[in-house]
A and B are shown apart, each in its own frame.
Chain A
Amino acid sequence: MNETGGKKSIGGDFVIPVAALVFTLYYFSTIIESPWTAQVAAFFIGAILIALTLLFLVKSAIAIGRGQADLGMNAVIAPTGLLATRLGLLAITAAYLVLIEWGGFTLTTFGFLLAAMLLLNRGQRAGFITLFALAVSLGGYLIFILAFETRFPRGPFEELIQAAMQAGI
């Protein structure tokens, strides 16, 4: 909630209630023909949630009508100077989740850490960051794949190590 020129910017405050409202209506649509056991709790909770969000919307609308608030999105995007970095981090994270299926755990984690840390450090200390990302992703490989044997997607790196191990190197 930010204040600009005496007015509160409450646009961001709507995101959660609107998401809740839309989700609840969607949820209702999936149970409309279900047996009562599927409906009873959801209709009860959903009805209260809808009432709460509507109350919130009405209250906010009144505040806007009186000129005490506006629909600015400052609360979500502030500080604006950091917006690009934050969106960049989000994009790198999303890319990480998409690429891990092909690149395998270790390589992709290395790439993610390298890219994210360089972004947040504005490109400085690249050498240190490379070594650090390498150490952390290798540590992750040792813990998660070698020791705990979790089924992370295997990529070129994991295949290589496995082949080397099988060859007795």
Chain B
Amino acid sequence: MELQLDLYGPLFLHTLSYWWVIVPSIFLGLLVGAIPGFSAANTIIILLPLTLVMDVEVGLIFMVALYCSSRMGAGIPAILVNIPGTAGAAATPLDGYPMTKAGRGQQALAMSFVASSLGGLLTTVLALMTMPWLAQVGYYMHSVEMIVVMLFGISLIASIAARDTLKGLIAGFFGLMIGSIGADHVYATPRGTMGFLELYDGVPLIPALVGLFAVSEAFLIIEAQSILSRHSRDLLKTAGWSATLEGARIALARWWHITWNSIIGLVIGVIPGAGASIASFVAYQQSRTYSKTPEAYGTGHPEGLIAPESANNGVTAGTLIPLLILGIPGGATAAIMLVVMQYHGVIMGPHLFSDRPDLGYGVFMAMAVTYLIMSFTILPLSRYMSKVTLVSTAYMAPIIIAFTLVGSFVPREYMFDMALGLVFGVIGYIARKTGYHVAAILIGVILGPLLEQYFLRALKMSEGDISVLFSSSLGNVLWVALFVTVLTPFALDYKRRRRAAHG
């Protein structure tokens, strides 16, 4: 597969001529991304009859645009009302929501949009240039390596626990334990399911997400008339276009941060089975570890918002690479795209770029064009979206409860999941009232089962020999990196204290 540079110019203009598909897809994507329970994958399934009758090129552009914009959409409620639209945006509220509470929601949205678009655009271009090599990542990142990547994400629990270590760790391990509910990954024996068949496949993510963040939030915000203080309200009410520009400027000034974190997203996205939630946790954790002001994270620090948002948009390009080059989808949305393309008689895999270069390169061009169009159409909306937070909590709380519980029903269509959302809501409420971080619980619920799955796979392959964890060179390099990452904050802290003592 060679790069065909002369192809790009005409292909770009050709893709741009499909703006009439891209623009509505962007708005649809923003909407489904923002409602917990909906995602690009299940929206494409819902619209399958439509996608199947579309021309193959239109269908592909539609799916790609929807995929990219839903990623951005998921960040909007995360920032404004502390409710991540998908698990991929679960790290976004950590710093996004405190900004909103301080009356800087408009700036936060602008930052997120710029980080998402720029990160997405950058990784698309990078993916296009490095595809043949990046596709090889899948050949090296096996179970053992993935265990270490998961641990990067899980070590975020320790960072979050910084303020009250014991409570933070209890929350994180409680999350990991809840994440272990379900049939074991090898012999499928049910564990901790309390007799509910609906829990055999593990705790469904959306009800956990919705309960821990949204429902508990609804029960908390009714303590005041508004989620904003009087000062924040005044700030938001008087904010003009300058606030959007300020947010964009803050993000652009951190272009290096966007670049670095979107590349983390791209690489994690390329690994089959990994996904946006892992990428955003790892990015947040990396960003915090190597920051000069780690203590500012969690209080509305711009970098704490930019890191996960650029990473989860970097994942988008990444998941498509194994699909296009190897014919194996990197995530749920990519898997559905495979089905649609098969229906049109397009075989994804090594021969795609020689058989149908227009489609192979077209996918990335569609992404690039989508991100470009998005940056012009969505950024101005931040001013209006942020006003949502001015709504009185007496109206907002019931709407949050109703629509997020409805959202927990959507992915599996089980009434059980709505009740589970409420149970997690109660757990989340008590946790937040008593100083246990819900994000730590959620990290455990999301990453715990994935970690166990890779861990068991590695152990089963080595027939129980634990030394398998240190059997690969790449794995060992990653172990060292993990070790350094975990120890760095202590080292930096020590250095700072010494300097303070001497200074």
Instruction: List the interface of chain A (C-beta within 8 A of B).
Output: 1, 12-13, 15-17, 19-20, 23-24, 26-27, 30-31, 34-38, 40-42, 45-46, 48-49, 52-53, 55-56, 59, 75-76, 78-79, 82, 85-86, 89-90, 93-94, 96-97, 100-101, 105, 109, 112-113, 116-117, 120-121, 132, 136, 140, 144, 148-153
Contacts and interface: CB of A to CB of B under 8 A. Distances in A.
B192 A30 contact: yes
A120 B397 contact: yes
Given A16-B174, A20-B174, A153-B415, A120 B431 contact: no
A151 B410 CA distance: 8
8 contacts: A37-B460, A38-B187, A41-B452, A45-B176, A93-B401, A97-B415, A113-B399, A150-B410
Given A89-B397, A97-B419, A36 B464 contact: yes
Nearest to A42: B180
A17 B433 CA distance: 14
A99 B59 CA distance: 40
A79 B46 contact: no
A128 to B, nearest CB: 10
B402 A113 contact: yes
B415 A101 contact: yes
Contact of A34 (B191, B401, B415, B434): B191
Interface residues of B, number: 63
B222 A85 contact: yes
Contacts of B409: 150, 152
A83 B322 CA distance: 53
Interface in B214-239: 215, 218-219, 222-223
Nearest to B37: A150
User: Which A-B residue pairs are the 8 nearest by beta carbons?
Assistant: A38-B184, A116-B398, A120-B394, A37-B186, A27-B192, A49-B173, A20-B174, A41-B452
Interface of B: 38, 46, 166-167, 169-171, 173-174, 176-178, 180-181, 184-187, 189-194, 215, 218-219, 222-223, 393-395, 397-399, 401-403, 405-406, 409-410, 413, 415, 418-419, 422, 426-427, 430-431, 433-436, 448, 451-452, 455-456, 459-460, 464
A1 B164 CA distance: 12
Given A53-B170, A82-B223, A89-B219, A109 B185 contact: no
A85 B394 CA distance: 11
Given A16-B430, A38-B189, A120-B394, A55 B177 contact: no
Nearest to B455: A41
A96 B402 contact: yes
Nearest to B394: A120
Contacts of A117: 394-395, 398
A75 B219 contact: no
B186 A136 contact: no
B9 to A, nearest CB: 39
A80 B409 CA distance: 33
Contact of B399 (A55, A79, A96, A136): A136
A137 to B, nearest CB: 8
Given A49-B177, A112-B402, A1 B419 contact: no
Given A45-B177, A76-B434, A144-B406, A34 B189 contact: yes
Contacts of B222: 82, 85-86, 89, 120
Interface centre among A37, A82, A148 (most CB of B within 10 A): A37
A26 B192 contact: yes
A94 B422 contact: yes
Contacts of A31: 184, 189, 191-192
Given A35-B189, A132-B395, 19 more contacts: A16-B170, A16-B434, A17-B170, A20-B173, A23-B177, A24-B177, A31-B192, A35-B184, A36-B464, A37-B185, A48-B173, A49-B170, A49-B177, A89-B218, A100-B415, A116-B401, A120-B222, A121-B394, A148-B410
A interface, over-half SS: helix
B193 A30 contact: yes
B170 A20 contact: yes
A91 to B, nearest CB: 11
A34 B174 contact: no
A108 to B, nearest CB: 9
A89 B396 CA distance: 13
Nearest to B395: A117
Contact of B187 (A1, A37, A149): A37
Nearest to B171: A16
Given A112-B398, A117-B398, A97 B435 contact: no
Contact of B430 (A12, A52, A78): A12
Nearest to B407: A144
A41 B422 CA distance: 28
Interface centre among A13, A16, A79, A140 (most CB of B within 10 A): A16
Contacts of A16: 167, 170-171, 174, 427, 430-431, 434, 436
B170 A97 contact: no
A13 B166 contact: no
A86 B185 CA distance: 40
Nearest to A74: B433
Given A97-B418, A150-B410, A52 B166 contact: yes
B422 A38 contact: no
Contacts of A89: 218-219, 222, 397-398, 401
A150 to B, nearest CB: 6
B58 to A, nearest CB: 21
A30 B191 contact: yes
B191 A52 contact: no
Nearest to A17: B170
A92 B167 CA distance: 31
A21 B406 CA distance: 31
A121 to B, nearest CB: 5
A10 B132 CA distance: 58
